[in-house]
Amino acid sequence: MKKIFILTTLAAFIFAPSLTFAQKQWHKDEKKNKKTEVAPAVTPPEKKPEATIKPYDKVITKGAISDDGLFTVHKVDKKYYFEIPNKLLNKDMLLVSRLSKLPSNLGGGYVNAGSETNEQLVVWQRFQDKILIKLKSYTAVANDSLPISISVKNNNYEPTLYAFDIAAFSKDSANTVIDVSKFYGSDVKAISGLSANMREAYKVKGMDDSRSFITAMKSFPMNIEVIQDFTYNAGKPPVLEDTETISIQMNQSMILLPEKMMQPRLADPRVGWFTMSQYDYGSEELKSDSKTYIRRWRLEPKDPVAYANGELVEPIKPIVYYIDPATPEKLRKYIKQGIEEWRKPFETAGFKNAIIAKDPPTKEEDPDFSPEDMRYSVIRYVASTTRNAVGPSVSDPRTGEIIGSDVIWYHNHLRSYRNRYLLETGAANPSARTLNTSEEEMGEMMRFVIAHEVGHALGFPHNMGASCAYDTESYRDAAFTQKNGIAASLMDYARFNYIAQPGDKGVRFIRQMGPYDHYAVNWGYRVIPNSVSPEAEVPTLDKWILEKAGDPMYKFGKQSSSFDPTSQTEDIGNSSMKASSYGLKNLKYVAEHLSEWTSDVTNSYEDLDELYKEMLDVWSRYVGHVVTNVGGVNEDTKKPNQKGVIYTVVPKVQQQEAMQWLQTNAFSSPTWLVNVKTLRNTDYSGYTERFRNLQARHLNNLLSFDRIGRLMDAEILGTDNYTALDLLRDMRKGIWKEANTATTVSIYRRNLQRAYIERMEYLMKEEIKPSRSGDYYNVSQSDVRALVRGELATLKSALGTAKNSAVNTETKYHYADCIERIALILDPK
């Protein structure tokens, strides 16, 4: 009854004005009811509920295993308890959920161990005899001093994630004890590793409690770490389908956020940063003001006066990375070099010794050291077959301050680099022609992979425009490459110099730090004296950008771009056609010698098979770089006070050059790449299918709705632009050139031509769905169907003539089959 009374009183307080009439009516009804109310003959004795809040020692017994830290964590038998200091109630904390272990191919292979699945700002609150964990949002804000802050809070009421019964109070009443076993031991969707899409795709029926448990719980001064092992019943798991099981291990981190918030820095899309956004309802504008802040570490000079005078000054708290104790000794120096590679860019920003690499402390030096402790950022060395490295960080969603980071290096990642080094540079680089790359060269690669991942942890996303900053021919120049590396930023995916040719002496093959990295660190980390607000910094930040505007070395290119040939992944040089021509020339040399460098040395075909398959991927990447030029649009992010436009259609002559290159290099019969000797020693079949799949992938990419849509848009932007009709006409003429010359059509070309017909059928029949990229348009009411129909009719007519003059039976049958396929598309009845 007490609970009901309290809730009624609370509701009356909140909604008092609207309840006045209801209260009066209630009293009237009560008087009416009193006349007819009959008391029960016997009133049963009231049964007192059992007390849910027990004495401390009845809950946390002598057998408890306890761990002090942010909260004291207790394990009593099979139950886990948090003992929360009351002073930490209502304090902002971050709840971060990550996958620790997962089955292969989960999420289509795009999810790795260490991947974050959710990040939520939470507070622990007491309500009556419960402790609530409530989500708290900083996406909508207003200064507490402003009247509108009341409305912001009322219209952005955060949900309660979980409610815990209070189990006990500490003996001095300073702490509150709750049982968290069910919260961490059950399938709470908000902290789960399986998204709604995964649950649907894998037909997840639910978690199996008998095979799910809390593995460990550890408390540190700033954070609590919980490891969960969960097993789900699933009708269609990503691997081992017969088991109908998915098992994952989750890591849940509860992190205390800084009491004193850092002053945030407003982002600018012209400089690449990871960001976080808020809507400020306290703005003087006529609408809520969207503010986006960069994610960065808090670096403050020890001597602000000397810093303001331009002297190099050490930060009050430097960024420190520890080496994982599990790291092999021979690799530690390269990891340290990779971390401290960022010292020079930080010096550009005015900070000395801003980032430091340290060996893990010994047990004697720090018996409590743990990579799980948020006070320590660690380069983790993971014994896994995964070929990857990642650089995640945890940031304060209120300000963007990065408060911790663990860079993850997977053991097998160097094998990927060895293979790429051999395939992409082996023609011009004799030292790469081996399976036993020298420790020095592998160390150099590792050094810059670590530096790249640390760059992510410092706040930098990929800058895919940096590799387009240098002229393609410069990659064959020793002096240029030794000074400038192979991209203007280490944050590009430009790993190796695949342009340099045999005979080019002294060139650099491995990436390094670039001028953009110095520029971006200075822009984001330099303290601007006397700037008391983010807005006060903007004029200076704008000035720094305008000083570099127009120089490709300081341009930021988004990774998300699928249309900009100047912002591509894995490419180098400012001409895709030139760079890919050099790359293929080198790859032909490698293909000729691959057996010599692998199976002839090892007396095993295992490495040859692996490298040959990866060589096909390298070929495909070079082709893909050229494809992007067709229907391409260059993006150069600007503000209105800068000259020129943001989006510029790739010139017609460049698109025509790309189409001609593709017909010559991508869609011709790949006799040099389909190495019969290699295939006959590594596989018994699938030779033609393997390459059909590669060619069809690029053909389909060219003949895509979004690309055709951009080309249709280009017609209204200028009379001398490459058009959708140009694309379709050039594709037809190139793919079907044998029909006009009465020559034999090889099996590769026959496969490709049938793929062309199937893709044209797709364009005739399918629609596209609206997408976030904005590439949606109404296909049926556009020119697409008319253009495709016209091209198919023209092709059908040409094949009718070609069939009669076919030089062999396979070609004749092929043409007859294609004519029938086209007829069914044009007239399905």
The pLDDT score that the predictor gives to residue 17 is 39
User: How does pLDDT run across 312-323, given as a tens digit for each residue?
Assistant: 999 999 999 999
pLDDT of residue 8 exceeding 70, the answer is no
The pLDDT score that the predictor gives to residue 10 is 34
In angstroms, rounded to a whole number, what is the distance separating the alpha carbons of residues 549 and 546?
A: 5
The pLDDT score that the predictor gives to residue 19 is 36
Q: Are 237 and 384 in the same domain? A: no
User: Residue 702 — pLDDT band, cuts 50, 70, 90?
Assistant: very high
Handedness of CA 105, 108, 114, 118 (dihedral sign): negative
Whether residue 437 is contained in a domain is answered as no
Element (H, E) at 712: helix 705-714
pLDDT of residue 470 exceeding 50, the answer is yes
Handedness of CA 258, 264, 269, 273 (dihedral sign): negative
Residues in the chain: 829
Residue range 700-715: mean pLDDT, rounded: 95
The pLDDT score that the predictor gives to residue 284 is 53
- When divided into structural domains, the chain yields a total of 3
Of 204, 231, 256, which marks where a domain is finished? Answer: 256
Residue range 539-562: mean pLDDT, rounded: 94
The pLDDT score that the predictor gives to residue 48 is 44
Q: Are 22 and 164 in the same domain? A: no
13: left (phi over 0), alpha (psi -120 to 50) or beta: alpha
The pLDDT score that the predictor gives to residue 280 is 59
Element (H, E) at 313: none
Whether residue 680 is contained in a domain is answered as no
In angstroms, rounded to a whole number, what is the distance separating the alpha carbons of residues 673 and 695?
A: 12
In angstroms, rounded to a whole number, what is the distance separating the alpha carbons of residues 73 and 55?
A: 17
The pLDDT score that the predictor gives to residue 383 is 67
Whether residue 10 is contained in a domain is answered as yes
Per the listing, tokens 């690669």 go with: 445
- Are 162 and 48 spatial neighbours (Cβ–Cβ below 8 Å)? no
pLDDT of residue 23 exceeding 90, the answer is no
Determine the residue type at 801: T
The pLDDT score that the predictor gives to residue 384 is 65
Determine the residue type at 599: S
Q: Are 188 and 307 in the same domain? A: no
Edge-to-edge, what's the strand order for the sheet holding 289-294? 140-141, 275-280, 289-294
- Are 338 and 451 spatial neighbours (Cβ–Cβ below 8 Å)? yes
In angstroms, rounded to a whole number, what is the distance separating the alpha carbons of residues 114 and 112?
A: 6
The pTM score is 0.86
Q: Are 246 and 306 in the same domain? A: no
Whether residue 154 is contained in a domain is answered as yes
The pLDDT score that the predictor gives to residue 371 is 81
Whether residue 709 is contained in a domain is answered as no
Residue range 375-384: mean pLDDT, rounded: 81
**Domain limits at 19?**
2-36
Q: Which of helix, strand or coil describes residue 236?
A: coil
Of 420, 447, 479, which marks where a domain is finished? Answer: 420
Residue range 288-300: mean pLDDT, rounded: 88
CA geometry: angle 746, 751, 753, nearest 5 deg: 90
pLDDT of residue 720 exceeding 70, the answer is yes
Percent of the chain with pLDDT over 70: 89
Residue range 534-551: mean pLDDT, rounded: 96
Q: Are 146 and 251 in the same domain? A: yes
User: Residue 241 — pLDDT band, cuts 50, 70, 90?
Assistant: confident
- Are 449 and 389 spatial neighbours (Cβ–Cβ below 8 Å)? yes
Q: Are 319 and 212 in the same domain? A: no
The pLDDT score that the predictor gives to residue 9 is 38
Q: Are 337 and 252 in the same domain? A: no
User: How does pLDDT run across 614-644, given as a tens digit for each residue?
Assistant: 999 999 999 999 999 999 999 999 999 999 9
Residue-wise DSSP of 341-398? TTHHHHHHTTBSS-EEEEPPPPTTT-TT--TTSTT-EEEEEE--S---EE--EEE-TT
User: How does pLDDT run across 585-609, given as a tens digit for each residue?
Assistant: 999 999 999 999 999 999 999 999 9
Q: Are 69 and 194 in the same domain? A: yes
In 183-234 the beta strands, taken as DSSP E runs, fall at 204-207, 213-219, 223-234
Q: Which of helix, strand or coil describes residue 502?
A: coil
User: Residue 686 — pLDDT band, cuts 50, 70, 90?
Assistant: confident
pLDDT of residue 21 exceeding 60, the answer is no
Of 256, 280, 306, which marks where a domain is finished? Answer: 256
User: How does pLDDT run across 142-165, given as a tens digit for each residue?
Assistant: 455 545 445 545 555 578 999 999
- Alpha helices by DSSP H, listed for 262-402, are 304-308, 329-340, 343-348
Whether residue 319 is contained in a domain is answered as yes
Residue range 771-793: mean pLDDT, rounded: 88
Whether residue 281 is contained in a domain is answered as no
Q: Are 171 and 307 in the same domain? A: no
Percent of the chain with pLDDT over 90: 73
The pLDDT score that the predictor gives to residue 286 is 45
Q: Which of helix, strand or coil describes residue 758?
A: helix
- Are 423 and 590 spatial neighbours (Cβ–Cβ below 8 Å)? yes
In angstroms, rounded to a whole number, what is the distance separating the alpha carbons of residues 802 and 199?
A: 52
Average pLDDT, the chain: 88
Q: Are 142 and 210 in the same domain? A: yes
Residue range 478-503: mean pLDDT, rounded: 96
The pLDDT score that the predictor gives to residue 828 is 87
User: Residue 127 — pLDDT band, cuts 50, 70, 90?
Assistant: very high
User: How does pLDDT run across 61-118, given as a tens digit for each residue?
Assistant: 999 999 999 999 999 999 999 999 999 999 999 999 988 888 888 877 667 777 788 9
Q: Are 28 and 158 in the same domain? A: no
Q: Are 138 and 221 in the same domain? A: yes
Whether residue 654 is contained in a domain is answered as no
In angstroms, rounded to a whole number, what is the distance separating the alpha carbons of residues 135 and 36?
A: 49
In angstroms, rounded to a whole number, what is the distance separating the alpha carbons of residues 494 and 510?
A: 9
